[in-house]
């Protein structure tokens, strides 16, 4: 890269081949850029990592990608793009596609009619889905060449999805032996999460990851099951928490959620020590949702903010806000006497029932009536996008806000706490709710991060975003982070203890191509 971070020259490893033996070259990068990224062939808009920001106007300007030679490409920005490489790795994950394969299936090369025939062979009714699924979820299709260590061999919709080693995988170990060590991976589908646990306890699974809730039963059966439990830390702000939609549709509820006194009251109304013991078996210490120590943006003392169990304080805050009591003095009402109730939505797969009931008990003991609706994952997404989720049980998990801002910066509809602030930004102000106050300040700092010329500026403005979250506590947590449990049979070796996060690609961070069976 050059000194002002506007030019990046990328050298490809010579001699690499796709899983079908065809050479991997710069043409595959240029093809991906011109025929898949820019035209959104796989249903994704061009990633932000390919734009630089004009510091004067705030306008985004697209990079130019050109071929230098068979093994070199150049990416040129009009303005500095200090984090291009990190954001490329996180946003796009790959920057290439097998041109020789796509020229046999995409409409622009073989015509719409022939492409539709191919789509139907793959099980799709149109060519758009053919592009989306083979482009973004390509590892699921045996026909689509890959650079990954394992290649699909059967239909991913089968009860057992089987992948076998890529004979052309480019990595070797220190002795020159080609990776991966393991020849075959079988992923078995389960309808009930408990089946995965039972299979692990019975010794029928080599590698699986579990939530901390299963720690006790897994540890108790470690010797009998012939496996070991490896705790992986997480960048989670808490292990139990709630989010209140700051743009929820009901104007009275929205005003209440935006009142910092209400959020403080819900925080101190819960006995975190009991939550810690019952829900996390003491593994998650009583704490507020906050950046864990060791991660960028850590603020000393934040994890103790509003954590003392104090129902008197909660009641005092409700009184200050102007909330009244109903005639039976059981539930709080709005100031005008109308009923007050918080509707929580939860995904069916979340397995949070015990925590939910515990929190509802505490809320109702201080007069806040709660309702609960459990929906499937697809419905939850639709409701979230439509701004129909007033509240949910969720926390934040992020390593570095400058690299993965979505949970802390309302760039699109993704995290319930900021609701349709995200739609406002993703639609360019045509839809959604315009950010105000400290949420608007977050957007100002984010714009400065995008236009930053140095890493020092990025760190400075990232910290300002984190401080606004500390000040406002839009995400309320009750217990500190708990580990993800990576459980491995004793004959599977070379599995380290690491950090489990989406930025690091979960289990992929451990380099499974280096696992081996003894």
- pLDDT tens digits for range 434-446: 999 999 999 999 9
DSSP state, 104?
T
Average pLDDT on 144-170 reads: 95
Phi, psi at 4, each rounded to 5°: -100, 15
pLDDT surpassing 80 at residue 193: no
State the pLDDT confidence band at 59, using cuts at 50, 70 and 90: confident
Tokens 């995409």 found at? 106
Query: What is the CA 228 to chain-centroid distance, rounded?
Result: 27
Burial class (CB in 10 A: 0-12, 13-18, 19+), 183: exposed
Residue 433 confidence (pLDDT) above 70: yes
Model confidence at 70: pLDDT above 70: yes
Q: Which is it for strands 7-11 and 324-325: parallel, antiparallel or unpaired?
A: unpaired
pLDDT at 117: 95
The mean pLDDT value for 67-74 works out to 98
Residue 486, helix vs strand vs coil: strand
**Least confidently predicted of 43-47, 81-85, 202-206:** 43-47
Whether residue 421 contacts residue 439, with contact meaning beta carbons closer than 8 Å, is answered with yes
Cis peptide bond N-terminal to 180, omega within 30: yes
Q: How far apart are CA 165 and CA 201, in angstroms?
A: 27
**Triad 445, 446, 448: Cα angle to 5°:** 65
Q: How confident is the model at residue 55, as a pLDDT?
A: 84
Q: Which CATH class is domain 148-234+482-517?
A: alpha beta
CA atoms in the 13 A half-sphere facing the CB of 122? 25
Q: Is 465 exposed, middle or buried (0-12, 13-18, 19+ CB in 10 A)?
A: buried
Asked if pLDDT for residue 58 goes beyond 90, the answer is no
Give residues with Cβ within 8 angstroms of 92, minimum separation 6.
47, 49, 50
DSSP letter at 478?
A: E
Across the range 448-463, mean pLDDT stands at: 92
Residue 401 CA: distances (Å) to CA of 460, 461, 482: 12, 10, 20
- When pLDDT is averaged across residues 406-410 and rounded to a whole number, the result is 94
Output the pLDDT for position 350: 66
Mean pLDDT, range 89-112, rounded to an integer: 93
Q: What is the pTM of this model?
A: 0.82
Instruction: Write the pLDDT tens digit of every residue in 282-337.
Output: 889 999 999 999 889 999 999 999 999 999 999 999 999 999 999 999 999 999 99
* DSSP secondary structure letter of residue 88: I
Mean pLDDT (whole number) for 32-39: 94
In the block, residue with structure tokens 């864990």: 292
Which whole number is the average pLDDT over 244-255? Answer: 97
Distance between CA atoms of residues 263 and 317, nearest Å: 10
**CATH number of 7-135, picked from 3.40.50.620, 3.30.450.20, 3.40.50.700, 3.90.76.10:** 3.90.76.10
Q: Which of 39-53, 70-84, 109-123 has the lowest mean pLDDT?
A: 39-53
Mean pLDDT across 350-375: 92
Average pLDDT value for the chain:
94
Largest CA distance in the chain: 79
Question: Around 378, how many Cα atoms within 13 Å sit in the side-chain half-sphere?
Answer: 0
Residues of CATH 3.90.76.10 domain(s) within the chain?
Answer: 7-135
CATH 3.10.105.10 range(s) for the chain read 240-479
DSSP label at residue 187: E
Q: Which residue has the tokens 């901390």?
A: 212
- Please report, rounded to a whole number, the percentage of residues in the chain having pLDDT higher than 70: 100
- Residue 124: CA count within 13 A, CB half-sphere: 17
Residue intervals in the chain for CATH 3.40.190.10 = 148-234+482-517
For domain 240-479, give its CATH number from 3.40.50.970, 3.40.50.300, 3.10.105.10, 3.40.50.2000.
3.10.105.10
């Amino acid at each position: 890269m050059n000194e002002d971070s506007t030019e990046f020259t990328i050298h490809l490893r010579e001699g690499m081949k796709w899983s079908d033996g065809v050479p991997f070259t710069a043409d595959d990068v240029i093809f991906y850029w011109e025929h898949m990224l820019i035209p959104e062939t796989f249903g994704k808009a061009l990633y932000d990592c390919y734009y630089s920001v004009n510091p004067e106007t705030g306008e985004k300007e697209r990079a130019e990608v050109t071929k230098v030679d068979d093994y070199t490409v150049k990416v040129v920005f009009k303005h500095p793009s200090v984090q291009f490489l990190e954001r490329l790795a996180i946003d796009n994950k790959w920057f290439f596609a097998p041109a020789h394969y796509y020229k046999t299936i995409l409409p622009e090369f073989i015509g719409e009619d022939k492409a539709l025939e191919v789509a139907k062979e793959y099980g799709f009714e149109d060519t758009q889905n053919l592009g989306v699924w083979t482009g973004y979820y390509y590892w699921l299709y045996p026909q689509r060449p890959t650079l990954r260590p394992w290649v699909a061999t059967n239909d991913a919709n089968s009860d057992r999805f089987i992948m076998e080693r890529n004979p052309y995988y480019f990595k070797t170990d220190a002795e020159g032996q080609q990776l991966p060590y393991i020849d075959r991976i079988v992923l078995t589908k389960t309808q009930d999460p408990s089946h995965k646990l039972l299979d692990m306890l019975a010794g029928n699974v080599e590698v699986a990851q579990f939530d901390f809730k299963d720690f006790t039963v897994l540890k108790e059966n470690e010797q009998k099951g012939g496996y070991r439990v490896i705790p992986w830390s997480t960048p989670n702000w808490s292990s139990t928490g709630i989010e209140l939609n700051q743009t929820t549709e009901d104007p009275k509820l929205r005003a209440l959620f935006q009142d910092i006194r209400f959020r403080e009251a819900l925080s101190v109304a819960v006995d975190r020590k009991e939550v810690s013991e019952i829900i996390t078996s003491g593994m998650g210490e009583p704490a507020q949702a906050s950046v864990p120590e060791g991660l960028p943006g850590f603020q000393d003392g934040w994890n103790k903010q509003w954590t003392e169990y104090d129902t008197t304080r909660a009641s005092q805050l409700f009184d200050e806000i102007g909330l009244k009591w109903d005639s039976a003095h059981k539930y709080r009402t709005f100031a005008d006497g109308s009923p007050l109730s918080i509707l929580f939505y939860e995904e069916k797969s979340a397995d949070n029932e015990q925590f939910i009931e515990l929190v509802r008990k505490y809320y109702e003991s201080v007069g806040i009536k709660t309702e609960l609706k459990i929906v499937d994952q697809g419905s939850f997404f639709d409701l979230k996008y439509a701004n129909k989720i007033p509240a949910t049980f969720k926390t934040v998990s992020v390593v570095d806000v400058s690299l993965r801002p979505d949970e802390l910066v309302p760039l699109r509809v993704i995290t319930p706490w900021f609701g349709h602030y995200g739609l406002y930004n993703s639609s360019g102000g045509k839809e959604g709710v315009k950010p105000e106050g400290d949420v608007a300040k977050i957007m100002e700092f984010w714009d400065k991060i995008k236009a930053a010329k140095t890493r020092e500026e990025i760190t400075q403005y990232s910290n300002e975003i984190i401080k606004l979250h500390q000040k406002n506590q839009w995400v309320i947590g009750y217990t500190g982070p708990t580990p993800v449990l990576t459980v491995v049979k004793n004959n599977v070796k070379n599995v380290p203890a690491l950090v489990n996060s989406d930025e690091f690609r979960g289990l992929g961070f451990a380099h499974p191509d280096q696992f081996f069976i003894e």
